[in-house]
Structure 1
Amino acid sequence: MADPAVSVVGPGDGETILLGTTRMRVLEDGRNTGHRLGITESVLVPHTPGPPQHRHALHDEGFYIVSGMVRFTVAENDYDATAGTLVMVPSGVPHTFANPTDQPAVMLSTFTPDLYVQYFRDLQDMMAGGEALTPQASIQVMSRYATEPATDSA
């Protein structure tokens, strides 16, 4: 039996969040880390466009590509990240990602601190309420989490 202070999330465990063409599994929502860290696993189907380019004021994001390829756009630069690649995005840096390929992609994402995990729950709730997952709707929800659209490369 695991130590009561240790969190173990098995292959079929974790909260599932469905966001259009992306299936996300919450592996750590911050409850076990004093809200210092959140971790999700995302499956991006082929040709997933991803969110509008944005920047976070209060958290850093990390993306580890497990399989497939994910294209990261950081300001005006594109990076094609394949399996085994880690992309770290510090707060304030404009970024987005997409799966432009014909194959699914799987990535692990970290959020330090964890506050952005709730953003994904809010998007799912918005969609369950009948609102479409448009770039404008995403930006509106992002604003609740110290995140804004990146309309320039600054």
Structure 2
Amino acid sequence: MKPSKENYFVDKLESNASIINPNEGEKLELTTISITFKVTSEMSNDQLGVYEISLPPMAIGAKLHYHRFMDETFIVNEGQLTMQVGNKEYKAKPGTVAYVPRFTPHGFKNDTDKTVKLTLIFNPSQKREGFFKGLYETLKEVPVDSEKYLKLYNKYDSFPIDTSNMIPIRK
């Protein structure tokens, strides 16, 4: 029997696109933040995660932290997002794109009286949906268990700069 020849000069095309319409995707409603999964780790073979975030007035998305194995991109869609990168703060208006490579300390919050809407992109995604689902469970507890929070953070490639000030709740 003759082995079949593979054609190394012709691409095999596939139709594997995912089209996610507005208001589609799994949504988590936390007390301080709303997250909608648009492109998940499962869809992208863990290469990309795209999430819509809604921060109500005066909400904190995340305190200063960094990632070792993924980059994060912020796209501000509505409102003014306050971003901290290192020791500097930036006021990001709609249309702003902020690329935050790994090992760059960053945090974000809404310091205004209007809701901020943004898109977060993680590359690679590192199964980020697990982080958001764990965050949902952890932040529902009163008081928040800081050891459990840190364990969740570290499992999903997030490392707070100051473990005594890492819980995203205003005091």
Which one has a bigger Cα radius of gyration?
2
In 2, distance between residues paired with 1:8 and 1:101? 33
**Distance in 1 separating the partners of 2:142 and 2:42:** 29
Paired position in structure 1 for 2:85: 74
Matches of residues 45-124 of structure 1 in structure 2 within 5 Å?
45-115=56-126, 116-124=128-136
- When normalised by structure 2's length, the TM-score is 0.79
* Percent of aligned pairs with the same amino acid: 26
Which of these residues, 107, 120, 141, is aligned with residue 131 of structure 1? 141
Number of corresponding residues? 147
Indicate if the aligned counterparts of 1:62 and 1:110 stay in contact, CA closer than 8 A. yes
Cα distance in 1 for partners of 2:25, 2:143 equals 23
1:114 counterpart SS class: coil
Q: In the alignment, which residue of structure 2 is the partner of 1:35?
A: 46
In 2 relative to 1, CA 11–72 (structure 1 residues): closer, same or farther, beyond 3 Å? same
**Conserved 8 A contact 1:64-1:84:** yes
Cα distance in 2 for partners of 1:16, 1:133 equals 24
Secondary structure (helix, strand or coil) at the match of 1:53 reads strand
**Structure with more strand by fraction:** 1
Task: Compute the TM-score of the two structures, normalised by the length of structure 1.
Answer: 0.87
Unaligned runs of 5+ in 1: none
Distance in structure 2 (CA, Å) of the matches to 1:90 and 1:117: 19
Of 2, 6, 9, 2:17 maps to: 6
Query: What's the counterpart of residue 149 of structure 1?
Result: 160
**Root-mean-square deviation (Å):** 1.9
